[in-house]
Chains A and B, each alone.
Chain A
């Protein structure tokens, strides 16, 4: 008997949203960072330097399953040569722009339609994402009209913990006011997204990957999701109308 699912938590990167390499968008973001810092440096080479420093940070974050607050990210890791009082006050905007230097994020095919429909069917919806920016998601949810559908948004940059630390999943369930066993997590990463969710006691894990990648995947007792689907839209085939 499958558990009764009341809340659906979605991963963002490569599940609900994908990165599009929009060169203009990326170049403008590099300029914005230089402008915010009031620096004279060349935007392209400075951002290359940022990426090198970011790699160091990522290693720390992965090893500790932690996410630094944005102020610390910039004063300690990414721009330590700048005066820290100044950097602290603009760190939120800097992180936002730094994310944009990777590209523009677009929602998966049928994404909005599926979210609206799942909401209509009576599920609480949430987001659990490893993300350095605190501003990006709230801004996107508001601008693109997603706010009414998500009742629990947990970002590693706010929570301090990163997936697969079970604490981040438990925090999300708590905020949605649903017991973990009645929660499902939907992600794209067989290794990261399955283990933590199971440890947190989530009732179900759904992984979305292409059938080509499925054929290349290997499974152990630890990364076995409950269901694998191939398109975001197929969530509607799993989560039918909730009878309340």
Chain B
């Protein structure tokens, strides 16, 4: 059956990478962020203010399954009270710093090995991620020399729609050139990642068991993955070398 799978799409947050609670890194990011906005407010107070605004943005993003571009995020939602001509060019940098405020992202240790091996075995690889930044994931892939192994990188911030909207999965399969039935999605969210991939008609859904995610978003029992794995390396047991007919 696994021979039917041609393309493997991976989630990033809590699947390929985890967040480390690095307090020095986080407070430095906050400081930087406040500094480049030029806000006269106390840094902590300013961050609190931004958090209140970010909550409203998140709420509508999750309700409507849409994602604002970096520019829209900062000029419309986060800092509409700042001159647009000043904020718009800074929006990419601001988004990166805003992400860094909640921790440092590091890849799981077996990521490179698994990605390179799956590629070698003849699978097309892609990423489908809900993320507010347009540059962070491409930059990470580049710096870890993984870019060449991914045929397609789909980011909600660039596409404008979010998982679990099936459209994001359909767009991914179109771009990689494989029918949804021949695609698999690997993610850690028992609801969002399963529901969307299945609605899009993906051939398979694999859930990476991640206690942190399950605590925050327990499974509803409505959507069941095809397989559950406990480490990325288990993908190598599921996907053997592809034999092309």
Binding site for B on A (CB under 8 A): 2, 207, 211-212, 214-215, 217, 219, 224-230, 234, 237-238, 240
Contact = CB atoms under 8 A, between A and B. Distances in A.
Given A227-B40, A234-B45, A237-B41, A211 B80 contact: no
B116 interface: no
Interface in B14-72: 39-42, 45-46, 48-49, 52-53, 55-57, 60
A211 B39 CA distance: 18
A215 B57 contact: yes
Interface residues of B, number: 20
A211 B46 contact: no
Contact of B52 (A207, A211, A227): A211
Given A214-B81, A227-B81, 18 more contacts: A207-B81, A211-B53, A211-B56, A214-B53, A214-B80, A215-B57, A219-B81, A219-B84, A224-B81, A227-B40, A230-B49, A234-B48, A234-B49, A237-B42, A237-B45, A237-B46, A238-B40, A238-B41
Contacts of B83: 224
B239 interface: no
A155 B137 CA distance: 56
Contacts of A225: 81
Give the secondary structure class of B's interface: helix
Interface string B74-87: 00110011011000
Nearest to A228: B81
A215 B77 contact: yes
A215 B78 CA distance: 9
Nearest to A226: B81
Interface of B: 39-42, 45-46, 48-49, 52-53, 55-57, 60, 76-77, 80-81, 83-84
A34 B185 CA distance: 75
A212 B55 CA distance: 10
A226 B49 CA distance: 14
Contacts of A212: 56
Contact of B49 (A2, A219, A229): A229
Contacts of B56: 211-212, 214-215
Nearest to B79: A228
Contact of A211 (B42, B45, B55, B76): B55
Contacts of A215: 53, 56-57, 60, 76-77
A219 B76 CA distance: 9
Chain A CB within 10 Å, residue with most, of B56, B57, B83: B56
7 contacts: A211-B53, A215-B60, A215-B77, A224-B81, A228-B80, A229-B49, A234-B48
Chain B CB within 10 Å, residue with most, of A2, A225, A226, A229: A229
B82 to A, nearest CB: 8
Contacts of A217: 80
B55 A219 contact: no
B151 to A, nearest CB: 37
Chain B CB within 10 Å, residue with most, of A211, A225, A229: A211
A72 B52 CA distance: 46
Contacts of B57: 215
A45 B123 CA distance: 80
A114 B25 CA distance: 33
Nearest to A221: B83
B80 A240 contact: no
Contacts of A240: 42
